[in-house]
Amino acid sequence: MGRMPRPPREPLRMRRLVPLAALLACLALPTAALAKGPGTTVKRVPKDVRAQMTGVSWKPGCPVGFRDLRLITTTHRTPNGGTAVGQLVVHRDAARAVKRVLQRLWKAGYPIAKMRLIDAYDGDDWESIEDNNTSAFNCRRATGSGSWSNHAYGRAIDINPIQNPYVSGGQVYHDASWRFIKRSKRLSPMVIMPGDAVVRAFAAEGWGWGGAWSNPKDYQHFSANGR
Give which of 15, 223, 7, 224 is closest to 119, Cα–Cα. Answer: 15
> Is-contact 115 90, C-beta < 8 A?
no
Give me the pLDDT at residue 91, please. Answer: 98
Phi, psi of 209 (to 5 degrees): -115, 130
Note the pLDDT tens digit of each residue in 177-215: 999 999 988 999 999 999 999 999 999 999 999 999 998
What DSSP string describes 174-206? -GGGGGGS--SS--STT---TTSHHHHHHHTTT
- The whole-model pTM stands at 0.84
Between residues 120 and 27, the one the model is more confident about? 120
Q: What percent of the chain has pLDDT over 70?
A: 84
Asked if pLDDT for residue 28 goes beyond 50, the answer is no
| Cβ count near 142 (within 10 Å) | 14
Q: Please state the rounded mean pLDDT for residues 165-170.
A: 94
First to last CA, the chain: 25
